Structure 1
Amino acid sequence: MPRDTTISRRSVLISSACLFAWQASGIPAAMAAVRRPLSSRVKSLIAQMTIEEKAGQLTLMPTPWTSAAAARINPAAAVKNVENLVGDAQAGRLGGVFNGFGVDAHRKLQTAAVKGRLGIPMIFAGDVIHGYRTVFPVPLGEAASFDTALAERTARAAAEEMAATGFDWVFAPMVDVGRDARWGRTVEGAGEDVLLSSDMARARTRGFQGRSLADNGSVAACMKHFAAYGAAEGGVDYNTADISERTLREVYLPPFQAAIDAGCATVMAAFEDIAGRPVHGSHEMLTGILRGEMGFDGLVVGDYNGDLEIAARGLAADARDAARIAIMAGLDMSMASGIYRDHLPSLVAAGEVPMERVDEAVGRVLTLKEKLGLFDDPFRRMDPKRQQARMRTKPALSLAREAAQRSIVLLKNEGDLLPLPRAGKRIAIIGPFAEGQSNLHGPWTLFADSKEAVDLAAGIRAAVADPALVAVVKGSEVTSPVSGGIDAAVAAARAADIVILAVGEREAMSGEASSRDLIVLPAPQQALAEAVAAVGKPMVVALRNGRALALEGAVLNAPAILVTWFLGSESGNATADILFGAAGPSGRLPVSFPISAGQVPYYYAHRRPGRPNNTRFITVKNEARFPFGHGLTYGKISYSDLSLSTRQIGKNGQLRATLTVKNDGKHAARELVQIYVQDVVASVTQPIRELKAYQHVDLAPGQSKQVSFTLSAADLAFLGLDLKPLIEPGQFTLWAAPSAEAAGLTAGFEVIA
């Protein structure tokens, strides 16, 4: 793409003014406060580097040696000249590449890089969001497990596989809070709740990075997208986020702080703009808040062309101007656009960007490479034998099956239809997801082979006593009818004892640039559901989805509904395990399923309104169809005997809440007990409820257990009128409940001065 490199008088004046403002703002001091001391090796390298070599270290580019899926997502990668890329690596004009495929490609580029004048190794990054060759449930699905130890284990397994092929750096975890189900990237995060999102951010960071970044099975984590990307208007990717500073700080920043506290090495800037400033060019966000307030001392990388898009948004005159704005805002490394490599030398020569700022960014890149052990052994993650040995191991596939089981949410089970008997019943699996290995892994699986995944029909046939009693009929495509499809589906339903209706979204309907205006089942599938339901056979709906859905008609009215998300490599086996009772459902919704698509954005922790009975649509109550935290087991669970250790606590005090949980059912169950709190009267309007704690309880049939939670006064803090944390005296209500909108058990207590 041709770029205008002309330096106008206006741009020089603006640049000088911005530089003065930057120096006078105290931001350099804020940056210095979290500046990581450089090693003697890094200092020595910086002292020897030319400005062109420094600009190269701040440049991250896509590679032509990539998978077909990665090339589809980032088409520019497919047209790069291979020899030019190798030449750039050896000349020091390239700091790293991303989404390469395999040890051989990585070794070729690394060999060129270490032959360069200073021998600085490259870094290799990848979009491995929920698995490399072994694919785990999409992050939103895994969040339904409410199991941080599980999330840490799957991230660790993904890191070991990708590191075995030469990757040093993963563009995950995504820690954006997602409260608008239309937004396609909801699938990459942990849902709508701040606490759960923070817990998952912490766990996944630990899993990716392991005990040491230098370990050949560890990769540097990259929390993204900083920040408030999930608040994009209308749930549309790349859009403006028009939010208050309070919402930014209360909802969207805490998961990033959790990842920082867990030692996350890098952060990726968000695509959207906030208050008229693209985050890629916002020094308030990238420097003032991220570094000055949150204490982050690692590397800040841009998202794909995000720095160049500062110009597309009208904040910069051209690519050169965009590079100046981005580097001065605190964006250390440019991804894909190449504008740092192209323009930083002239910007420094013209005095528009101080060399100190460039050196600071280069220091962060080199320090990351040093921590990853690349200076000691540039090929430490490029062993072909290790690559073969670590792929799709039995332990990894067993973990994928366990994670998939734990992610499935049972929304309904009228008449105890589930679990199904393994023998003696004719089963019809109907729907576009009845069989076939596509649409199992989910979006952002760039390196896995869909042919290795287990589909629903295969999983069910392996689970039943007589596979010959299982019939499969597509009935419709995902978004279009099939000629004769409904007639064939109805005939199969009539011949069956039980119908499993496999419907939902295809992979491409979730993920980046995949927002949906209506979060309902596509019309051809809804028509199929209505026709099959009319036959009158017991029907289990198995939803495949990457977001909350507004369920309607026959799908909603089915006696049993399972949310199976995109479960990955062991999808069919895990779903069959739940259907036939080899494992019990324990997942809970990390996002609220609304009554109507028109309610979106809907989330449980909305602020208390002045007229709660009238804060609603004419035809729809202001509540969820299936709220956050909802999910059934095969047990019969009851709560009783809630008690608090004290009814008053001081600002440094704590209380213990204890209750009894019992399983009166015939099946073992894993219950998730949730603790919600409401601040009854406060100086700032508070949410209806907020999740403060959760705990799994395993119960045999007939068993009861006491469960205890400890809450401190600090857990009740909120941001006061000055946006500073405040523990305010007053009355609080506590719920122990199975979901965010369930009545549960209630008790009151007071925080005293």
Structure 2
Amino acid sequence: MTIDRKERAMDQQKLKELVQDMSLIEKINQLLQVTSGFFIDDVELTGPIRENGITEQSIAQAGSVIGLLGAKKYKEIQDAYIKNHPHNIPLLIMLDVINGFRTIFPIPLAQGATFEPELSKRCAQIAAKESAVSGVHVTFAPMVDLVRDARWGRVMESTGEDTKLNSDFAIAMVEGFQGTNVGEEYSIAACVKHFAAYGAPNGGRDYNTVELSENTLRGYYLPAYEAAVKAGVEMVMTSFNTLNGIPSTGNQWLNRNVLRDEMGFDGVLISDWAAIEELQYHGYAKDRKEAAGLAMNAGVDIDMMTGIYSKNLESLIEDGTVKEELLDEAVLRILNLKNKLGLFENPYKDADEEKEKEIILCEEHRKVSLEAAEKSFVLLKNDGILPLKKREKIALIGPFVSEKEIYGVWSMLGRPEDTVSIAEAADKVRMDYEFTFAKGCNILGAEDSNLIPDQHVQEPSKEDEERMLQEAVEAAKNADKIILAIGEHRRMSGESASRSDLTLPKIQYKLLDAIYEVNPNIAVIIFTGRPLDLREVSEKSKAILNVWLPGTEGGTAILNTLINKVSPSGKLPMSFPYCVGQVPVHYNEYFTGRPYDPKTGGKEYRSNYRDIPNTPLYPFGYGLSYAKFQYDDIKLSKDIMSIGETIDAYVTVKNVGEYAGTETVQLYIRDCIGSVVRPRKELKGYQKVTLQPGEAKNVTFEITEEMLRFCKDDLSFGSEKGEFHVYLGTDSSTEEYVSFNLN
């Protein structure tokens, strides 16, 4: 059966007939994904590559490609691929478009800080549009792994430590990328990752094992994946880790029973890079052939970049280890995705060289990047030094003042020349502020070279290092206020960037100390991809503004915030630890049988540390504003709820400060007694309210019985009768509550 390229999208029966008409080798090769280099470069197929199963034939028939081609090249390759394919099946192009294509938005963790999923939906729509006109069909996003350990570098790709927040953002991003139909103009397929529980590696070490009770897995880690599935995500990616002793890529219970049968996922399941082959290294498969069989039987449809299926599935089917029906199901799912995208009807879909020039990095897209950055910034401390006032002498000091690579490591197409630095943004308002600039030091010094494993640190001479420091000190001496821009290098967080120490590079502390000695009026701007230990920074500064890795319009957003063109409104989606000894640390922990109460003291025989607090330095949901918000009159519409009923929770929020601002009012609920122990509190809702000085508003939340459900002792989800505490406040540390009972 040969496909007419002008034929409209096929129905399921025609797709099934196409699968039946394909040869065994053709079907197997549809499961292979290779890099774009095999199509745009003259890659020599050496002995080892061939031995791994990647041959001229398998490349010519590979069902998908990972990597950017660009509209023009993509069309050429798609034409040649379809022409040479026995059944004229189109090629599928995938790429890691995590937080923007060329217009770069804040990293996902920063987007979580906005507490505004609809904004992330708009960011995803823009990323999809720029990707689509460049020939991309699928993005490997969103990552919805729940994260509680800041040592793990990939926390930057998540939206944080809370199940509800992750689930809300998962839905928004899937809807943003895919639209109402992935076949519509400028939509691409989303791929939720990493299934499952990749965000809980032992020791915070990437690729490491995960040990979770099934209750914890189902109650806290799986809901965000399921939310993405219910939102219609077209693809899911397996995780590198083992889960309770079984690698996810070979875990039949996880992928078939939980993902497909329980959650109802009917899309494409793809391995992470070489994850099928790694079943050997886990000690779960004796060789590549056995690994291929385990993954196929577990339901993995696409082998990313090993050739392990191409080399072994034919013999596995012949000897009965793998049923050909499973192969047919996998091929059908892949073809169905191509069909949904409209590739049989129009193999180019949205790829268009002229629209690439028109759409990518357009003013409209940059405006959304600016808005997202401004709303993601979290003001962690402010002793009145911010906002800046006109005519003040401001020293902008630090390695990030003129730095333009202020986007995450997964911003693969981000370019410095497209990015606005703090210095560039400051130049535009120099008529109102007396700015001086000094670098002070490089982002990394000689002592910090191990923080970026694959990149040589350009170490200045001792003379240059001393000169930069002295220039910064002189600038600080003559300033009314110092804005000190410091933080993590963009490659200090991300994949394979686990750290045992969550402090800043040593050379930056040297700069902070030198500035502090001559002028303590310091406001620190922190660039980071993860929560950091900021104790020393807090001790030696009067303000801390955490700006994450903000993206294309980062510099403009920072200046707008410093001068109060916008007031900070971000809230932490992940707790910032007091020190690394606390991690994993999160707000919704259990009490334990011997809880420690810092108000009563007495640490003996209580669950606590001898040398540090139990609580993080800055908790989940925390974030200040230039405004000052006061909460009064927390009330419930009634104190008894029956099944099928709802209760309204009310609170009055008033701006008692001198500046206007936006507050995120947060609703937490504690289930006091359960068949399994329940957390201290859990986020159940959030609303934003913008108030002028002196203005007050009533904020109302509806509490439903569904919000009280949890994973019970028998692993079912449901609510249980009893007492519940309702907290309405500015962050997860709020203590004032009112109570009701569920009958």
**TM above 0.5, one fold?**
yes
Q: Is 1:747 matched with 2:714?
A: no
Which one of the candidate residues 12, 17, 22 is aligned to 1:49? 22
> 2:136 — aligned with what?
167
Query: 1: CA distance between counterparts of 2:153 and 2:422?
Result: 24
After TM superposition, the structure 1 stretch with the greater mean CA deviation from structure 2, 663-672 or 356-365, is 663-672
Contact 2:38 2:59 in 1 (8 A): no
Query: 2: CA distance between counterparts of 1:708 and 1:292?
Result: 38
> 1:318 — aligned with what?
287
Q: CA deviation at 1:341?
A: 1.3
Which one of the candidate residues 25, 44, 58 is aligned to 2:31? 58
Gaps of 5+ in 2: 1-9, 448-459, 597-605
Alpha carbons of structure 1 residues 540 and 59: separation in structure 2 relative to 1, 3 Å:
same
Q: Is 1:461 matched with 2:452?
A: no
> 2:156 — aligned with what?
187
Paired letter, 1:431: G
Structure 1 residues 139-166: Cα deviation after superposition (integer angstroms, max 9, x where no partner): 0001100001101000000000000100
> 1:260 — aligned with what?
229
Alpha carbons of structure 1 residues 88 and 170: separation in structure 2 relative to 1, 3 Å:
farther
> 1:436 — aligned with what?
403
Query: 1: CA distance between counterparts of 2:719 and 2:150?
Result: 32
Which one of the candidate residues 658, 673, 677 is aligned to 2:650? 658
Query: 2: CA distance between counterparts of 1:38 and 1:174?
Result: 31
> 2:514 — aligned with what?
531
Query: 1: CA distance between counterparts of 2:155 and 2:435?
Result: 38
> 1:595 — aligned with what?
578
1:231 is paired with a residue whose SS is coil
Paired letter, 2:414: A
2:500 is paired with a residue whose SS is coil
> 1:339 — aligned with what?
308
Query: 1: CA distance between counterparts of 2:353 and 2:740?
Result: 61
Contact 2:108 2:158 in 1 (8 A): yes
Structure 1 residues 305-331: Cα deviation after superposition (integer angstroms, max 9, x where no partner): 001100111111111111111000111
Q: CA deviation at 1:216?
A: 2.9
Structure 1 residues 66-124: Cα deviation after superposition (integer angstroms, max 9, x where no partner): 999xxxxxx999x999xx999547842x0010112311332232112211210000100
> 1:477 — aligned with what?
443
Which one of the candidate residues 518, 530, 536 is aligned to 1:553? 536
> 1:4 — aligned with what?
none
Paired letter, 1:542: I
Contact 1:86 1:109 in 2 (8 A): no
Query: 2: CA distance between counterparts of 1:90 and 1:620?
Result: 57
Contact 1:533 1:554 in 2 (8 A): no
1:469 is paired with a residue whose SS is strand
Q: CA deviation at 1:338?
A: 1.2
Alpha carbons of structure 1 residues 588 and 76: separation in structure 2 relative to 1, 3 Å:
farther
After TM superposition, the structure 1 stretch with the greater mean CA deviation from structure 2, 289-298 or 194-203, is 289-298
> 2:589 — aligned with what?
606
Query: Pairwise mapping of residues 664-743 of structure 1 onto structure 2 (< 5 A)?
Result: 664-743=656-735
Alpha carbons of structure 1 residues 65 and 383: separation in structure 2 relative to 1, 3 Å:
farther
1:347 is paired with a residue whose SS is helix
Q: Is 1:113 matched with 2:104?
A: no
Q: Is 1:299 matched with 2:299?
A: no
Gaps of 5+ in 1: 1-36, 69-74
Query: 2: CA distance between counterparts of 1:85 and 1:327?
Result: 18
Contact 1:89 1:112 in 2 (8 A): no
Paired letter, 2:76: K
Query: Pairwise mapping of residues 331-410 of structure 1 onto structure 2 (< 5 A)?
Result: 331-410=300-379
Q: CA deviation at 1:719?
A: 1.3
Q: Is 1:284 matched with 2:250?
A: no
Query: 2: CA distance between counterparts of 1:88 and 1:410?
Result: 56
After TM superposition, the structure 1 stretch with the greater mean CA deviation from structure 2, 127-136 or 39-48, is 39-48
Structure 1 vs Structure 2 CA RMSD: 2.2
Paired letter, 1:462: K
Q: Is 1:576 matched with 2:543?
A: no
> 1:104 — aligned with what?
72
Paired letter, 2:691: L
How many residues are treated as equivalent by the alignment? 703
> 2:545 — aligned with what?
562
Query: 2: CA distance between counterparts of 1:282 and 1:558?
Result: 50
1:208 is paired with a residue whose SS is helix
Query: 2: CA distance between counterparts of 1:230 and 1:67?
Result: 35
Q: CA deviation at 1:546?
A: 0.5
Q: CA deviation at 1:462?
A: 1.9
Contact 1:654 1:712 in 2 (8 A): yes
Q: Is 1:544 matched with 2:544?
A: no
Contact 2:436 2:475 in 1 (8 A): no
Contact 1:67 1:446 in 2 (8 A): no
Query: 1: CA distance between counterparts of 2:535 and 2:673?
Result: 38
Structure 1 residues 570-604: Cα deviation after superposition (integer angstroms, max 9, x where no partner): 01000111000011111000010111111111111
Paired letter, 1:393: C
> 2:195 — aligned with what?
226
Q: CA deviation at 1:480?
A: 3.8
**Divergent runs of 4+, >4 A:** 65-68, 84-91
Paired letter, 2:31: L
Query: 2: CA distance between counterparts of 1:504 and 1:685?
Result: 39
Q: CA deviation at 1:443?
A: 1.3
Query: 2: CA distance between counterparts of 1:124 and 1:378?
Result: 11
1:131 is paired with a residue whose SS is coil
Alpha carbons of structure 1 residues 549 and 195: separation in structure 2 relative to 1, 3 Å:
same
Q: Is 1:420 matched with 2:388?
A: yes
Q: CA deviation at 1:228?
A: 0.2
Query: 2: CA distance between counterparts of 1:175 and 1:556?
Result: 34
Query: 2: CA distance between counterparts of 1:191 and 1:65?
Result: 37
Which one of the candidate residues 504, 514, 519 is aligned to 2:497? 514
Alpha carbons of structure 1 residues 102 and 353: separation in structure 2 relative to 1, 3 Å:
same
Structure 1 residues 384-420: Cα deviation after superposition (integer angstroms, max 9, x where no partner): 1122211111100000000000000001111x21110
Structure 1 residues 177-215: Cα deviation after superposition (integer angstroms, max 9, x where no partner): 111000000000101000000000000000000122112
Contact 2:438 2:471 in 1 (8 A): no
Which one of the candidate residues 124, 130, 149 is aligned to 2:118? 149
Contact 1:89 1:109 in 2 (8 A): no
Query: 2: CA distance between counterparts of 1:51 and 1:273?
Result: 31
Q: Is 1:616 matched with 2:642?
A: no
2:100 is paired with a residue whose SS is coil
Q: Is 1:495 matched with 2:478?
A: yes
Which one of the candidate residues 180, 185, 200 is aligned to 1:216? 185
Q: CA deviation at 1:650?
A: 1.2
Query: 2: CA distance between counterparts of 1:469 and 1:564?
Result: 20
Paired letter, 1:626: Y
Paired letter, 1:410: L
Contact 1:461 1:467 in 2 (8 A): no
Contact 1:175 1:255 in 2 (8 A): yes
Structure 1 residues 468-494: Cα deviation after superposition (integer angstroms, max 9, x where no partner): 632222334324476204333222211
Contact 2:665 2:689 in 1 (8 A): yes
State percent identity of aligned pairs.
38
Q: What is the TM-score with the length of structure 2 in the denominator?
A: 0.92
After TM superposition, the structure 1 stretch with the greater mean CA deviation from structure 2, 594-603 or 525-534, is 525-534
Contact 2:393 2:433 in 1 (8 A): no
Paired letter, 1:712: T
Paired letter, 2:723: Q
Paired letter, 2:589: H
Paired letter, 1:296: F
Query: 2: CA distance between counterparts of 1:479 and 1:331?
Result: 44
